[in-house]
Amino acid sequence: MTFAITFVIALIIAVLATPVSMRLASLWGAIAYPGGRHVHSRPIPRLGGLAIYAAFWIAVVITQEWDKSIWGLFIGSTILLVVGIWDDVYEIRPLVKLFWQIFAAAVLLFFDFSMDFISLPFFGSIHFGALGLSAIGFILVIFWVVGLVNTVNISDGLDGLAAGICFMVALLLFWSANQIVQTSVAPAHLTLALAGAILGFLFFNFPPARVFMGDSGSMFLGYIIGGISIMGLLKTATILGLVFPLLVLGMPVTDLTFAIIRRKLRGQSIAAADRGHLHHRLLDAGLTQRQAVLSMYGISACFGGAAVLGAKGQWIWSLVVLFIVFSLLIIILMRQTAKLAVFGRRHSK
């Protein structure tokens, strides 16, 4: 089937499934209530991840012949979806969630996912197996997938933010799979199924949101992005399949890094929630939720543009874009909330 059909099927199913997930959230009590560090002002169902999951996998079932790698993605993502739903309804301790994230990532190892052989710009090819270091390839898979799962989860701080960023990641991975990876069309179809599912969900999640994806959605998206990027690595051994999601997610990665440093300096646990994230700073500067989300979309798009420039061999321009964007992020994150607040607060938290 054509790429367009895969995208449209996932889009339509997501549009139809999201209202169903909202009803299930109400029945099961998966509701996000306002207050604390949350920025929404009314109770909102948070089980949209179930709709994204359904749209993605139904589209894949219809359009793809399943091989071993797709079965691995399905089993692992289903495990994380169940854990995420349980967390959205009852809440799970962070360490318990981390255990299941590691377990789901390890599932991929039984379906031939590995980072055993990669090709790095300027450094050439690295074959861990030939060096007697095959275990490194397996460990990298787990670190990569778990890292992306938590990065997407961290980015889910405003209406439509995580979904919009992951939509960009999916489109860039499709470009990479379609233009660079010529040995298999499966990764390209998977990325478009993901993009269609996310876009259908965004119709309900873009600010003002009527539904949140919840941990069921953020963990699923991070897992699928991690898995698909490794699939691209398996096809060509090029590191580009990993560079694209990592760079487009550069904003939440930077935000997470600063959060860890900030909490350590305050003597807090790195898992402790606070109101120092990038989106909090933008809201304190007087931006509305929609303005803040669009601003962060723009920052993520710049990261994605840098990745494309690098893929085209324009490394100097890529580094220039990255330097400018990182400088902007650091300026925003380093400024104190009290200084930003002088611009006026337009959004009530």
pLDDT of residue 130: 59
Chain centroid to CA 141: 16
pLDDT of residue 117: 59
Other Cβ atoms within 10 Å of 18 Cβ, number: 27
- Cβ–Cβ < 8 Å for 193, 171: no
Which of left, alpha, beta for 165 (phi over 0: left; psi -120 to 50: alpha)? alpha
pLDDT of residue 342: 43
pLDDT of residue 184: 55
CA end-to-end distance (rounded Å), the chain: 47
Mean pLDDT per 10-residue segment, the chain (349 residues): 88 97 93 68 88 97 90 96 94 91 95 71 55 75 91 84 92 77 68 96 93 94 91 54 71 78 70 68 81 89 86 84 86 58 42
238 secondary structure, DSSP code? B
pLDDT of residue 279: 76
Q: Residue 156 class from Cβ within 10 Å (0-12 exposed, 13-18 middle, 19+ buried)?
A: buried
pLDDT of residue 244: 67
- Those residues with Cβ within 8 angstroms of residue 123's Cβ, 6 or more apart along the chain or in another chain: none
Domain spans of the chain, in order of start: 3-343
pLDDT of residue 292: 87
Distance between CA 24 and CA 46 in Å, rounded?
10
